[in-house]
A and B are shown apart, each in its own frame.
Chain A
């Protein structure tokens, strides 16, 4: 598949692989610095102002506009989880109910002013969202959706049962609602309460846009997308997938909770009616039709659906048949246009750009920024306990890994010395990749000890091991294909440039500063591996050898002490292998120790300081390339006993 895409890109004939559900939407090649990025936000603000002004006398339209705004907030919340993190929740409408009760009933009941209800709505819903995420933490894909579905069905059932506290099937009326006639712009007309609520919802929507805008351009948003594209790669790049999924769930639920609080102001009632599975389904369809994984998509979807119902014909036809409308649209969207409205618009833009390229015109794209030379080299993180290992970076002793009855690794001892290129070779199935998986923490060893710098790695997660100085590439490429090349490297530097979630959401000066440092470092490493001029392309559109280089750049971005390369030359041509050898040499010269798994013997013998040979999970030889080449057991392992 990668090959076909490569050819397509080079010849410009096919544009890209068609989108599939759950993969998010391809970004347009980004051109940072252009103000046009803010155009959709400006349009949204203008639309809200025009709508509020021109429909001020129409109770019906103001009411629908209010609904559109808070549903857009809910949809943006759902989108954080569905579009960016790649998790389909079928129970998010429950958070609407939770937010309503927490913000509009509980918050005033404990004496807080009605205005501040949104805080408790957010916190309450986010806490429940985090709880739900913890319950789902060991599940994946479909089963997460099932748990969220059960949760989404449980909450309304609880509301129905809890008559005294929550009001039972009829719900509870909101006694201390927000006096929205005091919202700027509400005026003094007969509908000032409704108009004020519309503006209140619009303000909250704009705040949500601001927060989400910052989020998806921060290390948090990038980590979410990395989890969506390849969770394994995210974990070994230093992303604590568990934490990030929990925060994604919590944020997502929190926004829906705020929407629930706003909805409670509109109905002056909180009930389970708005929280059933059919509503959750409606949220998802709103996001899918608008465009998953985009900021504009959920807003477009929510506005389209809510305001669409203001059209008399639609109202008359579908008032009692909303399922027909949403079912049909959902079906059509998922089956024929999984990228949604926004995704398809972007497709046209890209197609237009590609046509221009084919005709010889250039697509306006800023050249890659130049960065300071010291940022364009691999670096080794300076650690306090740096030389604790006595010149040994990695020491593995008695390492055994069993899969059922098969010992993929048995009693393996291995020492990798600092500043060397250490090759690990062996016939297919000899346990080389298993070794890397165990060392990086993806597999738990059956027994044995792994030390980095003399400190045991036992019990550490892959992300924590990345933090201690391990980095790896994958034999079967695990790039985040629908993210840009630059973003891939930036996620690689995830643990090096830390910003908290709150700072990222608010885009504080510290967040902006750190973000800029991370971006410069990523550009530097792209210069180093020779991919700088493709930095704004999507990783999935790179030619195959470039993908391998990108994996190396991404791994180097964590400033590792030890870089584990899993068959980096697989599928490369001779000249490309030559370039790769040069690159690995430069990595070593910069001080990064390299453990190389490879089948190309020319590469291994020309590059390595030490070679270890595995066969059936056991080390059969260890030494300089020349020694190993002449070792009887090695020859026997590769060619059979008779040749030895």
Chain B
């Protein structure tokens, strides 16, 4: 029973953490068919911004908002540096963007290392108690308020993003631009601005993720790479571009890791192997992922 609850709690929270990062990949991919490999680093940057602001005495909610606003700018900056210079290209065959976004990610991590330092930084939770309730114990497994906020917020974000993508003019623009950029432009959509907006939104999502995740994992440099890779896997598993796919992919990884580390005595080291094997298997069998739509091929 303890094992079961442990797996449930760990799977849900880790899955939510991963999904929060994966949303950033998806929002960009949905409009551009590009995967922004700098997403993980954007999360780290946002986390350090929030930390710096709280250190200056601003309460966590204020830091949260400031970090979101600043990260909008970070997203735009990434787009200007990594995507703009490539000009017009077909992202499915001309894959230079993989290198530029990856490059930006490496640069960002090293710049933080050089300026802020590499230590892990704590960040206060958005709320440590709800109406005086702080922690619950089920079969000896602790469930804390930040954990609950994390899981609930992730689900709310999925709903919000899906509404944005399917019900708003902006969401329609995203889909039109991804389908055929030229035609979308001819129909009066400002495609460059649309692409930029997706990167800005990805930045904001990174900031939300950073603040929600920090109570569990702190703000630290390796989040960029480790979490970035896991979230990328989640996004591909669920289907790139699909928001609900991201959360499902996140849960798949979260639960797989939790189950594997419960079964094996070695602790965490088997987790990645199993996750990568599952990832490879899904990619080979169904590259578009669970909820994704296959790319149209023209002869």
Chain A interfacial positions (CB closer than 8 Å to B) = 20-23, 88, 90, 135-136, 138-143, 145-147, 150-151, 153-154, 157-158, 160-161, 232, 277-278, 281, 284-285, 288, 320-324, 326-328, 330-331, 334-336, 338, 437, 442-443
| CB-based nearest A residue for B86 | A335
Given contacts A140-B297, A142-B92, 6 further A-B contacts (CB under 8 A): A23-B94, A142-B91, A142-B98, A161-B269, A326-B103, A336-B85
Taking a contact as CB atoms closer than 8 A, the residue among A135, A153, A335 that contacts B100 in the complex is A335
Report whether B95 and A277 are in contact in the complex, using a CB–CB cutoff of 8 Å. Answer: no
| CB-based nearest B residue for A276 | B225
Report Cα–Cα, A136/B225, bound state, in Å. 24
CB distance from B132 to the nearest CB of A (A): 44
Report whether A321 and B96 are in contact in the complex, using a CB–CB cutoff of 8 Å. Answer: no
Report Cα–Cα, A146/B280, bound state, in Å. 9
> Which A residues lie within 8 Å of B99 (CB)?
21, 281, 284-285, 288, 330-331, 334
Report Cα–Cα, A437/B297, bound state, in Å. 15
A interface secondary structure, majority = helix
| CB-based nearest A residue for B273 | A157
| CB-based nearest A residue for B96 | A21
Report whether A150 and B273 are in contact in the complex, using a CB–CB cutoff of 8 Å. Answer: no
> Which B residues lie within 8 Å of A139 (CB)?
283, 287
Task: Give 20 A-B contacts (CB < 8 Å), ordered by A residue.
Answer: A20-B94, A22-B93, A22-B94, A23-B94, A139-B283, A140-B92, A142-B33, A142-B35, A142-B98, A145-B98, A147-B280, A153-B229, A154-B273, A161-B269, A232-B299, A285-B103, A327-B102, A327-B104, A331-B100, A335-B96
Taking a contact as CB atoms closer than 8 A, the residue among B86, B93, B100, B114 that contacts A140 in the complex is B93
The contact string, 1 if C-beta is below 8 Å from chain A, for chain B 261-293, is: 000001001101100110110011001000000
* Given A321-B113, A324-B111, A336-B85, also A154-B277 (CB < 8 A): yes
Report Cα–Cα, A203/B167, bound state, in Å. 64
The number of A-B residue pairs with CB atoms under 8 Å apart is 132
Report whether A22 and B96 are in contact in the complex, using a CB–CB cutoff of 8 Å. Answer: yes
Report whether B96 and A20 are in contact in the complex, using a CB–CB cutoff of 8 Å. Answer: yes
Report whether B82 and A331 are in contact in the complex, using a CB–CB cutoff of 8 Å. Answer: yes
B233 at the interface (CB under 8 A from A): yes
B110 at the interface (CB under 8 A from A): yes
Report whether B229 and A277 are in contact in the complex, using a CB–CB cutoff of 8 Å. Answer: yes
Report whether A330 and B283 are in contact in the complex, using a CB–CB cutoff of 8 Å. Answer: no
Report whether B100 and A334 are in contact in the complex, using a CB–CB cutoff of 8 Å. Answer: yes
B109 at the interface (CB under 8 A from A): yes
Report Cα–Cα, A284/B95, bound state, in Å. 12
Q: Indicate the size class of the contact surface on chain B.
A: 35 or more
CB distance from A150 to the nearest CB of B (A): 5
> Which B residues lie within 8 Å of A442 (CB)?
299
Chain B interfacial positions (CB closer than 8 Å to A) = 33, 35, 81-82, 85-86, 89, 91-96, 98-100, 102-107, 109-111, 113-114, 225, 229, 233, 236, 266, 269-270, 272-273, 276-277, 279-280, 283-284, 287, 297, 299
Report whether B103 and A330 are in contact in the complex, using a CB–CB cutoff of 8 Å. Answer: yes
Taking a contact as CB atoms closer than 8 A, the residue among B96, B109, B277 that contacts A334 in the complex is B96
> Which A residues lie within 8 Å of B100 (CB)?
330-331, 334-335
Report Cα–Cα, A269/B4, bound state, in Å. 41
> Which A residues lie within 8 Å of B33 (CB)?
142
Report whether A141 and B104 are in contact in the complex, using a CB–CB cutoff of 8 Å. Answer: no
> Which B residues lie within 8 Å of A158 (CB)?
273
Report whether B107 and A324 are in contact in the complex, using a CB–CB cutoff of 8 Å. Answer: yes
CB distance from B220 to the nearest CB of A (A): 16
> Which A residues lie within 8 Å of B94 (CB)?
20-23
Report Cα–Cα, A335/B276, bound state, in Å. 31
> Which A residues lie within 8 Å of B82 (CB)?
331
> Which A residues lie within 8 Å of B114 (CB)?
321, 324
> Which A residues lie within 8 Å of B279 (CB)?
150
Report Cα–Cα, A19/B36, bound state, in Å. 23
CB distance from B201 to the nearest CB of A (A): 21
> Which B residues lie within 8 Å of A154 (CB)?
273, 276-277, 280
> Which B residues lie within 8 Å of A147 (CB)?
280, 283-284, 287
Report Cα–Cα, A278/B102, bound state, in Å. 9
Report whether B103 and A331 are in contact in the complex, using a CB–CB cutoff of 8 Å. Answer: yes
Taking a contact as CB atoms closer than 8 A, the residue among B95, B106, B110, B233 that contacts A141 in the complex is B95
Taking a contact as CB atoms closer than 8 A, the residue among A141, A160, A323 that contacts B107 in the complex is A323
Report whether A143 and B283 are in contact in the complex, using a CB–CB cutoff of 8 Å. Answer: yes
> Which A residues lie within 8 Å of B113 (CB)?
320-321
CB distance from A23 to the nearest CB of B (A): 8
| CB-based nearest A residue for B118 | A320
| CB-based nearest B residue for A329 | B103
Report whether A141 and B93 are in contact in the complex, using a CB–CB cutoff of 8 Å. Answer: yes
| CB-based nearest B residue for A434 | B299
> Which A residues lie within 8 Å of B107 (CB)?
323-324, 327-328, 331
Report whether A90 and B98 are in contact in the complex, using a CB–CB cutoff of 8 Å. Answer: yes
Report Cα–Cα, A311/B178, bound state, in Å. 46
Report whether B283 and A150 are in contact in the complex, using a CB–CB cutoff of 8 Å. Answer: yes
> Which A residues lie within 8 Å of B85 (CB)?
335-336
| CB-based nearest A residue for B87 | A20
Nearest 5 CB-CB pairs, A to B?
A: A21-B96, A323-B106, A327-B106, A335-B85, A324-B110
> Which A residues lie within 8 Å of B106 (CB)?
278, 281, 323-324, 326-327, 330
Report Cα–Cα, A21/B86, bound state, in Å. 9
Report Cα–Cα, A242/B111, bound state, in Å. 43
